[in-house]
Structure 1
Amino acid sequence: MMMASLRYILFATILLTGFTAHAQLFKKGSGDADALYEQAVQATKQKQYAKAIALSKQALAKQPDFVDQQLLLGRLYMLTGDNKNARVQVNAVIAKAPRYRDAYFYAINIEMTEKKYEEAGCFVDEALYEFPNDKELMLKKLSIMDASGKFYRGDSYAPQLLDRFPEDTTVRNAYIGHYLMAADVYKRAGNSVMAKTNYEKVLAIQPANEEAKAAITTMYVQNRNYTSALEQVNAELATNPKSYELLMKKLGLQEQMHAYPDALATLKEVLKYYPNDSKARQMETQLRMDAAGYYTDTDPYMLYQSVLEKSPGNRAALDKVIGLSMSRGAYREALAWINRGLKSNPNDQRLLGLKADVLEADRKFTEAATITGRLRQLNPGSTDLRNRYTYLKVQSGRDYLAQQQYDLAIAELENARQVSPSDTTVLDMLANTYIGRRDYNRALTALDNALSYYPNNPRFLTKKSSVLAEMGRYDEAAEIVETLLNNHPNDERYASTFVDLRLTAGRILMQSEEYDMARQQFALVLAQAPDNLDALNYMINLQSATKQADSALAYADQGLSYYPDNKDLLLKKSAALTELKRYAEANDINAQLLQRYPFTLRYKTAYTDGLLQQGQEYQRNNQPDSALQAFRKVLSMNRRDSLALLYSINIYSSRGQNDSALALAQEGLRYYPSQETFLQKRVVSLENQQRYAEAALAADSLVKLNGSAANTDYADFLRSKTLKNQFGLYYLNTQYDYSDNRYQVATLEYRRFIKRGSIAGRISYAGRAQGTGIQGELEAFINHSKSLYSYGIATYSNEVAFPQLRLGYSIFKTFKHDIEAELGARYLKADSVESIAGVVSLAKTFNDFWVNGRAYFISDSSDFYTSFNLTTRYYMNRGQDFLSVFAGLGTSPDDRSRLIAFPQLSGLLTRSVGAGYQKTIKYRNTLSINGTWINQKIGDSQFQNQYDIYLMFLRKF
């Protein structure tokens, strides 16, 4: 089914779960109308017209301005024969969308079906107002004129149409069809003058049109204008002399005109080409009978024949009968009378000469040459007989050539050459025969022989050049032509041949990828004819193929200096400018071409490609606004252009204009619903807008379309972003080499993810001889901007196994080159000791590695000291998992395993090293294990060791 823009593609509806699903069930929007439209299209294809009409009406009830749907409904009424309702729908579409081209065709067809030609003409005029140079509409207008019988209007309109589209086959056929229809109508109406005029207009455009030729001939015969009819048949025979049908038609006309000698000559031609045709042989006797009756008692031939019957030896009567037979083309009778005379006098030179004449007139050149040979023997010094013998041998050779009997033809021509070795006709024909057989070596020998007699003969030199060219010896061929050109500088034929030879040589060298040698050939052409369009085009193509865009541009400019409006040269210049990255100049040319030829696809494609490349160049030069402007021009011509859509989406995404990026991604999905790239862009845009629920659903569709590991991982990541809660379980096990006691802590956590970060609450348990330690903890991460966030923590316990109070705050700032800095403070109260610490840290990412150095500056009531930590992580599995290695010097207030003994450990020389591994499963479950060894110096030569194992499990929900 033809649709105006082909723009409506099935929009895949995603049904959401929960509240979203409920909302979608009750949302009646354009998506429902699109779905109904697609169902109606499918029903139409299956010829379920009643169902398609019902679906169309439902869609229009939901979206009354849906013009594609309304036009489909009009078409459905047309298919079911309901033109009344079809007219209503189609007219409504035209009123709503005057530029909807297909609607006019439907409207015109409706009126044509009901033979309302005036109304159809109004619609086609309206359409041509909107689309003034539309070829199909112009052809439609001509067909309306013809259908309504207004041929006088078509007579003025058809030539205008042909002038506008002179090379278009469809237009030529419509032009011819118009005049054939008009001629037929006039002929049936008895207006032979107008019928003949229209048939002649057809033949002026298409001389071989059988219908027109046959009709004109028939009209001549019907009007008894046999002379004109015979002229028409002779004109056709000039291009097809062996046509049986035309020869028989000519014979019939001559018989009607009582031109019996001419008719007998024509019959002879028929029998020559079709010797076994029974109809022609039967006609011969009847034709002679008719001629005899027509010429009874008045024909001298009959009178002289009667004399010979009474006096067989009468030479004068014999000569007369022979002469009359020959004059009437009755060569068989003439030959019979000559043979009758030669029986009594076999060496009669006059009769032999007459026999040779008769045989020659009957085109029996071989036999005529044999007779002439006998006469030469009787008269060996006769120049006339030598010349005639040569002529007859040449004609015999021609006949053999016509019958493609080349060996016999060559034998005849060689006989002629032996008698007349310098005869130019013989020499020329011998060369032509060898050339025709593609026996180029013998052809060269024949031509060299001819040139030995006529060394400067232009014809022989030209043929030798042609033969050399056919043998691929183009340089030799061109040298000959160049000589001819020097001798005849004003002869355009030699200049043209020289150019053709060099062009041919250049083309062959190009095909062999001998570009330098081909370039030399084309340069020679341009030196001779600087405006030669073929050479210019080849030069441009060569320079472009060898990446010499500057030279290609120079030749394009040279060509345009001669042909300023040549569209091919303009297009090539545009391509060279594009190669030179002069996109603005290239696009100016492409825009001009597109304006001149708005319906030529290659100019539209060139302009579109140029704009895309220009836009990409703007992107590389960090000019996004200019790039967007270029891409918008592309989309204004073709809103379905996938590259322009994708490039625009990328720019909007990089600038944080996610609404615009999302709109274009959805537009792309309308046209390419199975295109993974647009679906990915839609998912990313939704993610950037933090619309994680919609992004996750879109990502699920992406996985259905392409279930790659990357797409599945992305869907899992986005699904995790929709989860606002997290359960955590931590376990710390500490052992000492100086005590049998173990320090074990179990922690439960609940975390809530909010728009600007997360808030968590924890409760920790630790068993001790003196009781069970319980600690409550609140923790928060708050995002202030993309590069700034805060961390805060507050804990309170019953002072069994935990410090009584701990407070902490840090602010983090991200800088360029993936550098993050921290500035914070810590407060700790335990065993009646209070400490305050300042914290600074610096982190940097190197590809898959993350390194963080942190320093604590701690002050309590008795002293001031420092602590340092260095942590390195190696990220794996697209950043979900990591291995970590860490080392520390001193005890920090963030070290959970030593906080209970922090007052006693402060100031001691403490070293620690550890390693850990964290694994995240589908961004929802996180498992972690860390091991740390701590060495503390408690005296001059006394050390004690501590070993920590820290386990963690997190689950988002």
Structure 2
Amino acid sequence: MFGIEKMDIFYKHIRFLSFLVVSIFCQVPILFGQDINTDSLLLKALNEKDPRIALEQAKLGVQVAPEYLDFHLLLGRLYQMSGEIDSARYYLNYVIDNNSAYVEAFSYLSDMEVQQGDLPLALSYINDAIAYHPEEQSLYMKKMAILQLQEKLNEEQRFIESALAKFPNNSEFRQRLYLLETRNNSDRIGVNYSFTKFDRDGVGPWHLTGLQYIRERSWGTLIGRINYADRQSFGESISSGVQYELDSYVFTGRNGYTYLSGAYSNSIVFPKVRLGLTYFHNYTNGWESELGVRYVEMGGRNFRSGLLGIGKYIGSFWINGRSFIQNESSNYYPAFTLTSRYYFNTRFDYIQAIAGYGTSPDERATLNQFESRVAMDSYRAGLGYFRLWNKHILTGTQFTYNHQELLPGLIQNEFELFFMLQFKF
């Protein structure tokens, strides 16, 4: 009996010592840290789907490797995602205070302050980040977004102009700058002139002259035009007339605007009535879309058109595809236009190339023959150059060639030369 009790005591001591040894060895990695693979632990924490487990793993990482800032960064991000803002601020600020190379810490802090509604603090973090990382393009994008939220249009425009000088191929900067420039208060007066020559004897030339006033304000743009057309044959005028036109672009939100157009004439060289409505919307990454309608009344006939277009800024390029479906009674007629521009400095400085098929109600030079051309085939191409001089003088010239079907088997070649001169004040 006594032997059995001694054996029990002996085994209890053995079990206790075994537990103690195992416990000590389990604590050694935590006490000394060198036996835990911190990179492996960080990878596990980053890939962990359960945020609670990831949080505990990140805390362990901070405990065993306090100098490893990736664990602090992860803790800050996890606390931000769980809504523990003060803890998130502590760990993210700890990261940037100890090493400003962590761009993500600046971004997380800025995004968090935007969510909290503290835009000045969010902007401060981004400004600091740009100072440390001037080549990080994503930081400039974040600053542009914050300035938009603050509705500081003038400051935003100046910032984007400087950012474009550094990143000239950024399509979102180019797209946003175009919109901001149209919101500036400015006025323009100018004259347009189109000369159209034909390869048939006794036809042409045609002259189209327009006087216009353009008023740009923060709400949008208002454009008034008076157009005069003179159609000649064998060097003599055979018909002429005047058209009155009013266009407007109205901003309808941060990323959209609406185009409204109306024109009237009692002369046969113009449609009697022309109306237009288009909504434009800008998306991220330089994309934009347009959806609209047109109405043309001339020669006792009524034409309705649907318009669908899509555009894209690619660096300094802007490419736009536009399609029209014209309707009269039960007949439908398509038209397509592809426009490409390469911008140099401002929205007024660019080279433009166009190609198209069919006749649309947006073509001014030949609109007087819209009712006879809309059902016929036509192929056109053009090239133009537009420029702003000394911030006040705008000039433009464009040449367009049109291969026009008049009747089945009867083709006419048309050559149009366009000039523009405006004064900006």
TM-score w.r.t. length of structure 1: 0.33
User: Which residue of structure 1 aligns with residue 4 of structure 2?
Assistant: none
Out of 765, 786, 790, which is 2:258 matched to?
790
- Distance in 2, matches of 1:824 and 1:663, equals 45
Out of 621, 628, 647, which is 2:107 matched to?
647
1:894 aligns with 2:362: yes
Q: Which runs of 5+ in 2 are unaligned?
A: 1-21, 47-53, 232-236
- Distance in 2, matches of 1:672 and 1:631, equals 21
Taking structure 1 as reference, are residues 585 and 878 closer, same or farther at Cα in structure 2, changes over 3 Å only? farther
Taking structure 1 as reference, are residues 695 and 560 closer, same or farther at Cα in structure 2, changes over 3 Å only? farther
- Distance in 2, matches of 1:844 and 1:671, equals 33
Aligned residues: 374
Q: Tell me by how many angstroms 1:628 deviates.
A: 8.9
1:300-335 CA distance string (max 9 Å, x none): xxxxxxxxxxxxxxxxxxxxxxxxxxxxxxxxxxxx
SS in 1 for 2:146: helix
- Distance in 2, matches of 1:778 and 1:691, equals 30
Out of 366, 375, 378, which is 1:911 matched to?
378
User: Which residue of structure 1 aligns with residue 196 of structure 2?
Assistant: 734
- Distance in 2, matches of 1:845 and 1:672, equals 27
- Conserved 8 A contact 2:386-2:397: no
Point out which structure has higher relative CO (alpha carbons under 8 A, 6+ apart).
Answer: 2
User: Which residue of structure 1 aligns with residue 89 of structure 2?
Assistant: 632
SS in 2 for 1:901: helix
TM-score w.r.t. length of structure 2: 0.67
User: Which residue of structure 1 aligns with residue 16 of structure 2?
Assistant: none
- Distance in 2, matches of 1:697 and 1:815, equals 21
Alignment of 1:556-595 (within 5 A): 561=26, 563=28, 565-569=30-34, 572-582=36-46, 584-592=55-63
SS in 2 for 1:609: helix
1:217-272 CA distance string (max 9 Å, x none): xxxxxxxxxxxxxxxxxxxxxxxxxxxxxxxxxxxxxxxxxxxxxxxxxxxxxxxx
1:532-551 CA distance string (max 9 Å, x none): xxxxxxxxxxxxxxxxxxxx
- Distance in 2, matches of 1:851 and 1:698, equals 26
Out of 810, 813, 828, which is 2:278 matched to?
810
- Distance in 2, matches of 1:883 and 1:614, equals 52
- Distance in 2, matches of 1:740 and 1:789, equals 41
Q: Tell me by how many angstroms 1:686 deviates.
A: 1.7
- Conserved 8 A contact 2:309-2:323: yes
SS in 2 for 1:576: helix
Taking structure 1 as reference, are residues 918 and 632 closer, same or farther at Cα in structure 2, changes over 3 Å only? farther
Out of 296, 320, 328, which is 1:827 matched to?
296
SS in 1 for 2:34: helix
- Distance in 2, matches of 1:849 and 1:670, equals 33
SS in 2 for 1:746: strand
Out of 46, 60, 70, which is 1:609 matched to?
70
- Distance in 1, matches of 2:305 and 2:369, equals 20
1:745 aligns with 2:205: no
SS in 2 for 1:900: helix
AA aligned opposite 1:569: Q
- Computing the radius of gyration from Cα coordinates, the structure with the larger value is 1
Q: Tell me by how many angstroms 1:813 deviates.
A: 6.0
Q: Tell me by how many angstroms 1:930 deviates.
A: 3.5
SS in 2 for 1:896: coil
AA aligned opposite 2:192: Y
Q: Tell me by how many angstroms 1:709 deviates.
A: 6.9
1:763 aligns with 2:226: yes
Identity %: 17
- Distance in 2, matches of 1:923 and 1:850, equals 27
User: Which residue of structure 2 aligns with residue 855 of structure 1?
Assistant: 324
Q: Tell me by how many angstroms 1:929 deviates.
A: 4.0
- Conserved 8 A contact 1:574-1:587: no
User: Which residue of structure 1 aligns with residue 410 of structure 2?
Assistant: 942
Q: Tell me by how many angstroms 1:588 deviates.
A: 0.9
Taking structure 1 as reference, are residues 691 and 816 closer, same or farther at Cα in structure 2, changes over 3 Å only? closer
- Conserved 8 A contact 1:911-1:934: yes
- Conserved 8 A contact 2:323-2:336: yes
- Conserved 8 A contact 1:631-1:647: no
User: Which residue of structure 1 aligns with residue 8 of structure 2?
Assistant: none
AA aligned opposite 1:584: L
Alignment of 1:290-329 (within 5 A): none
1:179-209 CA distance string (max 9 Å, x none): xxxxxxxxxxxxxxxxxxxxxxxxxxxxxxx
- Conserved 8 A contact 2:58-2:74: no
1:663 aligns with 2:121: yes
- Conserved 8 A contact 1:828-1:835: yes
SS in 1 for 2:270: coil
- Distance in 2, matches of 1:824 and 1:954, equals 29
Q: State the superposition RMSD in angstroms.
A: 4.9
Taking structure 1 as reference, are residues 808 and 699 closer, same or farther at Cα in structure 2, changes over 3 Å only? closer
Taking structure 1 as reference, are residues 680 and 877 closer, same or farther at Cα in structure 2, changes over 3 Å only? same
Q: Tell me by how many angstroms 1:793 deviates.
A: 0.6
AA aligned opposite 2:258: S
- Conserved 8 A contact 1:611-1:631: no
- Conserved 8 A contact 1:886-1:913: yes
1:115-147 CA distance string (max 9 Å, x none): xxxxxxxxxxxxxxxxxxxxxxxxxxxxxxxxx
- Distance in 2, matches of 1:722 and 1:788, equals 13
Alignment of 1:394-473 (within 5 A): none
- Conserved 8 A contact 1:649-1:660: no
SS in 2 for 1:897: coil
Taking structure 1 as reference, are residues 717 and 893 closer, same or farther at Cα in structure 2, changes over 3 Å only? closer
AA aligned opposite 2:90: K
1:793-851 CA distance string (max 9 Å, x none): 1012352743333222234567899573524131323xx52422121324364956735
- Distance in 2, matches of 1:783 and 1:663, equals 29
SS in 2 for 1:569: coil
Taking structure 1 as reference, are residues 886 and 615 closer, same or farther at Cα in structure 2, changes over 3 Å only? farther
Q: Tell me by how many angstroms 1:658 deviates.
A: 10
Out of 333, 353, 357, which is 1:866 matched to?
333
User: Which residue of structure 2 aligns with residue 695 of structure 1?
Assistant: 156
1:900-933 CA distance string (max 9 Å, x none): 23344454x2312112245566997865543333
Taking structure 1 as reference, are residues 821 and 731 closer, same or farther at Cα in structure 2, changes over 3 Å only? same
User: Which residue of structure 2 aligns with residue 144 of structure 1?
Assistant: none
Q: Tell me by how many angstroms 1:731 deviates.
A: 2.5
- Conserved 8 A contact 1:560-1:566: no
- Distance in 2, matches of 1:612 and 1:668, equals 17
- Distance in 1, matches of 2:146 and 2:269, equals 49
- Distance in 1, matches of 2:125 and 2:281, equals 38
- Conserved 8 A contact 1:658-1:689: no
AA aligned opposite 2:89: R
AA aligned opposite 1:563: V
SS in 1 for 2:361: coil
Taking structure 1 as reference, are residues 940 and 665 closer, same or farther at Cα in structure 2, changes over 3 Å only? closer
